[in-house]
Structure 1
């Protein structure tokens, strides 16, 4: 276990640095693009992220799991890696083929000018590149090349920083330049290098033996269905809110909502780090350990509440000072979403027990319902309450869903 401390710490440090850069990118984009420009940039980024999540299809977790399952059969491990990458490359080609016409359809549907077609086309292509980048990360995890993974994450950060400087110097008021500099071009470089160095041989083996590859592909799809449903629904929630804001509100309101969420996502980043550390331990608990764990959570709840109050106050002050008067109306969005995400973090310790109980479908069903409720609330609240209404539409289902899963865990553990 001690031998893993350094590589795990290096991955956490690299991820934290890259997340901080993403935070800085959003702050700089908000200040340089203005409210409307930042709104358009946020829509394009949302589209890319959503497509990246949809295109994963739960493959990343499934690939790592099946790679370990077949550790006594290296040939099947190669089929697992090759089948997953081959499928994702085909998806990327399909996305690239339809990106430009589909970008135009999306721009017209949202009432944007024709210039947004190219931006949305680039966003769709960027989402396709995320298929390959996420595969590459899972490949390194499967082989337990943690130092390599940390190095590639830092390389991603370095490329984004480099191209951001270029975009900032020559085209600081163009949303497409910001998207391409901070996501598209770095992902093209990493995807090309990753496939060339790590994945091409596995693809060739999988293509050469389709009779052996198709059953593996079927197993990948079957294992990942609950993971995919849950991840897609949960990830889609804030982006669906943005799209409804663009249609039922305005681009300015999308910018306001995105600015408020930028600071609230500090809690989301904290949640990701906590789950990465505790999830493997919690899911290995026995029945009595689960009860002890839940009792400890109850005892630390007041201390966590104090931490949240101070954290929200500090981040709210930062938003007030950094973004300036143009974004002061984003403060209610930040307050609502940060409190919701902070609550989800704490309740998430309890709901991790769902996987200890081997009930991942509960998480999937709840997230699908949360997504539907978010869309309905946003559609109803946005015309009158604008960005703050969108924040309520996002935050309330988050808390309700996590609260229900927490209650479900408590009921099952008492049996």
Structure 2
């Protein structure tokens, strides 16, 4: 067992993960301070509105990304060493798609937001914040192009540095607003959405001069053939992962929504660790050509994430009894119980990293998650409506626990069967 642990600690993946995880911890700490300041200054109701708006930014950015980021990691990672010009064509095509997608998002979304806020969510006060979300999502689309390109080229220091820079800009902005006594939802959103645009403009200067390449349309067929299932899955996954937020928005008061949002936000540090791991693992898995190496790699990775998940839950839940009242304020003490459930839910999500990334990048079967995602939407939608209506934000937390368990077990069975057949 000691030799096994030593072998895991010596792997290149762990060293790269250490870079990204350290960066994620720093980035997460800065982001955590930002959210604490917003939550304390806006109160539960205002923070509830802010959280719906930021969740909408993430949802729209995922949907209108149409699988470009995953395609960049897949194809740029595959060709950057052997066929650099071809890799640059994928980058140029990906950026063009994102810009077009962003303009379509703002154009059509501006007129659809009133129906969504007034009729679907039954919260008219969300109208302007959700319109700001359209602009914020466009910024995310652009900044994710840069970070995905860094990931594909395995430039993890650049990936970490840009993320920390953008999060720091948000923190400085909210500190400035508080200093000048300007603390409302809209200004907090302004502080949130401007940094990705600046991050994109600065980050793109650190990429190779890919925009000089010609004939990027020649790789469109290969790009879209892979991305079509990724795009469909991304829409489904984006909806299923945030369905609890929108059900809670519809069924809870804004104050209760703010309580749940603090629990959700604090537990999301686990998702940041997942992102750090996936950033390293994805291009590595894409490079494997044989089952023996892939299985050996995935076994080590599974042990690593399992240990992280166990340690996180053991220390995270007791720590929340101090952190939430001390930093967020006494009005958020009810967030402790839903946080405990959500932390276990996120731990299951962390454990599923080897399964999910192997399906995407080793087996290249993103369509598997289309069916898994549809099942999760049905499960979360039906269970969530009943659970939130009956048990409030505790029902929302329990729904996410069940949803993440489903999202781990079903793909896990698929991967095991796939390896056994080969």
* Alignment match, 1:374: 380
**Aligned partner (choices 11, 22, 42) of residue 13 of structure 1:** 22
The within-5 A match list for 1:286-297 is: 286-287=291-292, 290=295
Q: Given that residues 64 and 105 in structure 2 are in contact (C-alpha distance below 8 angstroms), is that contact kept between their aligned partners in structure 1?
A: no
* Alignment match, 1:216: 219
CA distance in 2, matches of 1:91, 1:309: 43
Deviation at 1:201, TM superposition (A): 6.7
SS at the partner of 2:194? helix
- Quickly say closer, same or farther: Cα 1:122–1:341, change in 2 above 3 A: same
Q: Given that residues 156 and 190 in structure 1 are in contact (C-alpha distance below 8 angstroms), is that contact kept between their aligned partners in structure 2?
A: yes
User: Which segment is superposed worse, 60-69 or 139-148?
Assistant: 139-148
Answering whether residue 337 of structure 2 is matched by residue 332 of structure 1, we say yes
Task: Provide, for residues 346-404 of structure 1, a one-character-per-residue CA deviation record: whole Å limited to 9, x for no partner.
Answer: 34445555455554433342123212321222222222211111112221121123123
**Aligned partner (choices 131, 142, 149) of residue 121 of structure 1:** 131
Answering whether residue 43 of structure 2 is matched by residue 34 of structure 1, we say yes
Q: Given that residues 34 and 171 in structure 2 are in contact (C-alpha distance below 8 angstroms), is that contact kept between their aligned partners in structure 1?
A: no
Deviation at 1:33, TM superposition (A): 0.8
User: Which segment is superposed worse, 297-306 or 255-264?
Assistant: 297-306
SS at the partner of 1:224? helix
**Aligned partner (choices 381, 391, 397) of residue 397 of structure 2:** 391
CA distance in 2, matches of 1:162, 1:240: 31
**Aligned partner (choices 261, 265, 279) of residue 262 of structure 1:** 265
Answering whether residue 64 of structure 2 is matched by residue 59 of structure 1, we say no
- Quickly say closer, same or farther: Cα 1:347–1:200, change in 2 above 3 A: closer
Answering whether residue 133 of structure 2 is matched by residue 131 of structure 1, we say no
* Alignment match, 2:5: none
The within-5 A match list for 1:222-371 is: 222-278=225-281, 284=288, 286-287=291-292, 290=295, 305=310, 308-349=313-354, 352-354=357-359, 356-357=362-363, 359-371=365-377
Deviation at 1:85, TM superposition (A): 0.9
Deviation at 1:240, TM superposition (A): 1.8
- In the alignment, structure 1 segments of 5+ residues that lack a partner are 207-211
SS at the partner of 2:240? helix
- When normalised by structure 2's length, the TM-score is 0.82
Q: Given that residues 230 and 367 in structure 1 are in contact (C-alpha distance below 8 angstroms), is that contact kept between their aligned partners in structure 2?
A: yes
CA distance in 2, matches of 1:296, 1:59: 26
Q: Given that residues 19 and 157 in structure 2 are in contact (C-alpha distance below 8 angstroms), is that contact kept between their aligned partners in structure 1?
A: yes
* Alignment match, 1:105: 115
Q: Given that residues 240 and 380 in structure 2 are in contact (C-alpha distance below 8 angstroms), is that contact kept between their aligned partners in structure 1?
A: yes
Q: Given that residues 36 and 252 in structure 1 are in contact (C-alpha distance below 8 angstroms), is that contact kept between their aligned partners in structure 2?
A: yes
- Quickly say closer, same or farther: Cα 1:153–1:260, change in 2 above 3 A: closer
- When normalised by structure 1's length, the TM-score is 0.84
Deviation at 1:310, TM superposition (A): 3.1
SS at the partner of 1:344? helix
CA distance in 1, matches of 2:160, 2:300: 35
Q: Given that residues 55 and 242 in structure 2 are in contact (C-alpha distance below 8 angstroms), is that contact kept between their aligned partners in structure 1?
A: yes
- Quickly say closer, same or farther: Cα 1:40–1:306, change in 2 above 3 A: closer
SS at the partner of 1:173? coil
Q: Given that residues 48 and 127 in structure 1 are in contact (C-alpha distance below 8 angstroms), is that contact kept between their aligned partners in structure 2?
A: yes
CA distance in 2, matches of 1:384, 1:78: 53
Aligned Cα root-mean-square deviation (Å): 3.6
User: Which segment is superposed worse, 71-80 or 391-400?
Assistant: 71-80
**Aligned partner (choices 159, 167, 170) of residue 157 of structure 1:** 167
